[in-house]
């Protein structure tokens, strides 16, 4: 155990208070309950409550996910991890970066966009059909709530950037955030080459969920769509945890064959603590929600913030 890990273990075990100038090293509990110091960027902790593990004999939970990680949002401390530095396909979790770059372009939410043939993909069933006209705000909701790939491509087109230019900005933003193992090749996540790690998705999600537009929309369980032609449809979220006992403030699903079933969520605890949980390559659609739910619940039950 190195010095930083020893100091951090003392802090987590005995509740020492970090001064405003103290930079907390990132300490995690591995899936086998060992500790490790990781290179996830640390931050200054200013008068915020810090998480401390209550029962060091509690070994965590068994997941079907290949990779997973949980972070305390306030301090940036990674609380638990499993293969969290393994680079994997991330599917539609990519749309969080798509949403960030889209918002950087200061959209006019009331602008109208007509769906075109070039927006069509081989992914999920589209919710907006070719030739239908909707507001930019509709595209944003449908892309993030239903994870609609056609809507995501039309959203990119609405910025005036080419898809190549837009994806280049996605990669620039990843580098700005220090996501050195994250790369994007398309804005939808349909390509298996969009890749990241569980640790870096924690940082991506933290950035994305800091945008109220993204957190609010991804916490929406259903959205009433009405096209300019008068067709109405109810759009349902792909994130089933929105209807669970957890207080899910934001989240994004992802799935293609290469990625397996993926999910990132931000959950609010009963005492106001916020955690971000990532699971990658869960065995089934049901399992990703089970994995995320039991892992988030275990963290909230086995850590205290003081």
Q: What are the catalytic residues? A: 92, 95, 147
Which of 223-230's residues contact partners 24+ apart within 8 Å by CB, and which partners?
A: 223/141, 223/142, 223/145, 223/146, 225/127, 225/128, 225/134, 225/138, 225/141, 225/142, 227/128, 227/132, 227/133, 227/134, 227/138, 228/112, 228/132, 228/133, 228/134, 228/135, 229/132, 229/133
* List of residues 6+ apart from 290 with CB closer than 8 A: 64, 282
DSSP H or E segment with residue 276: strand 274-282
- Neighbouring-strand partners of residue 266: 250, 276
299, 271 Cβ separation under 8 angstroms: no
- Tokens linked to 138: 């509709």
């Amino acid at each position: 155990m190195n010095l930083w890990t020893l100091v951090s273990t003392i802090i987590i075990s005995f509740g020492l208070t970090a001064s405003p100038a103290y930079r907390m090293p990132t300490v995690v509990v591995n899936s086998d309950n060992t500790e490790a110091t990781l290179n996830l960027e640390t931050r200054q902790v200013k008068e915020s409550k810090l998480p401390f593990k209550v029962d060091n004999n509690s070994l965590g939970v068994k997941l079907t996910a290949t990779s997973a990680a949980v972070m305390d949002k306030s301090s940036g401390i990674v609380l638990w991890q499993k293969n969290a530095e393994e680079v994997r396909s991330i599917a539609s979790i990519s749309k969080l970066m798509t949403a960030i770059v889209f918002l950087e372009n200061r959209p006019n939410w009331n602008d109208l966009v007509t769906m075109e043939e070039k927006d069509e993909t081989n992914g999920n069933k589209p919710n907006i059909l070719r030739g239908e006209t909707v507001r930019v705000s509709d595209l944003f909701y449908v892309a993030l709530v239903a994870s609609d790939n056609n809507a995501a491509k039309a959203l990119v087109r609405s910025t005036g950037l080419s898809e190549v230019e837009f994806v280049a900005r996605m990669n620039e933003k990843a580098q700005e955030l220090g996501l050195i193992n994250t790369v994007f090749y398309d804005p939808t996540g349909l390509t298996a080459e969009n890749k990241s790690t569980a640790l870096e998705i924690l940082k991506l999600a933290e950035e994305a969920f800091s945008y109220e537009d993204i957190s609010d929309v991804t916490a929406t369980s259903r959205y009433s769509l009405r096209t300019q032609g008068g067709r109405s449809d109810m759009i349902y979220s792909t994130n089933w945890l929105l209807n669970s006992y957890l207080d899910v403030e934001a989240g994004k699903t992802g799935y293609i064959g290469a990625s397996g079933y993926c999910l990132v969520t931000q959950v609010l605890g009963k005492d106001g603590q916020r955690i971000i949980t990532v699971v990658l390559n869960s065995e089934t659609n049901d399992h990703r929600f089970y994995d995320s739910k039991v892992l988030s619940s275990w963290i909230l039950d086995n850590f205290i913030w003081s």
